[in-house]
Amino acid sequence: MATKRFAAGAAAILALGLAACVDVGTGATGPAVVGDGGDPSLPDIAGANCIRQLSQTANRPVSQIRVARVEVGARGPVHYLEIDGAAAPWVCKTLPNGAVTDLYYSAEG
């Protein structure tokens, strides 16, 4: 019975899109922007995945990357990331399960 409750709870967490900006191992936190039923007290797995992906893409340590805000839509969370020295935020789109689907720099040019 406990296994069923755990599985149901885990599925509910994934379905909510994990819409919170909390410490993701970088020491950085940001404001939670909750939409579509997200719970800001839950770990932001998608945000952590975005930070790791941007760290690899930009060849920068995760300590220089922060989640600035999160927007939650029907397709999943969109994280806006700030990186030290960048003029504009990076945009990281994820699926509700936290998998990164798109990562790009938002400045024109």
Asked if residue 21 lies in contact with residue 70, where contact means CB atoms within 8 angstroms, the answer is yes
DSSP 104: E
Supply the DSSP string of 58-102, one letter for each residue. Answer: HT--GGGEEEEEEEEETTEEEEEEEETT-SS-EEEEE-TTS-EEE
Q: Which residues of the chain have pLDDT under 50?
A: 1-36
pLDDT for residue 39 = 66
pLDDT of residue 72: 87
What pLDDT does residue 74 have? 83
Q: What is the pLDDT of residue 56?
A: 97
Q: CA 29, CA 23: separation in Å to the nearest integer? A: 5
The predicted pLDDT at position 55 comes to 97
Nearest Cα residue to 54 out of 19, 28, 80: 80
Strand, helix or coil at 109? Answer: coil
What is the per-residue pLDDT across 55-77, written as a single tens digit (0 to 9) for each? Answer: 999 999 999 999 999 998 888 89
Measured between alpha carbons, how far is 83 from 75 in angstroms, rounded to an integer? 25
Residue linked to tokens 């409750």: 5
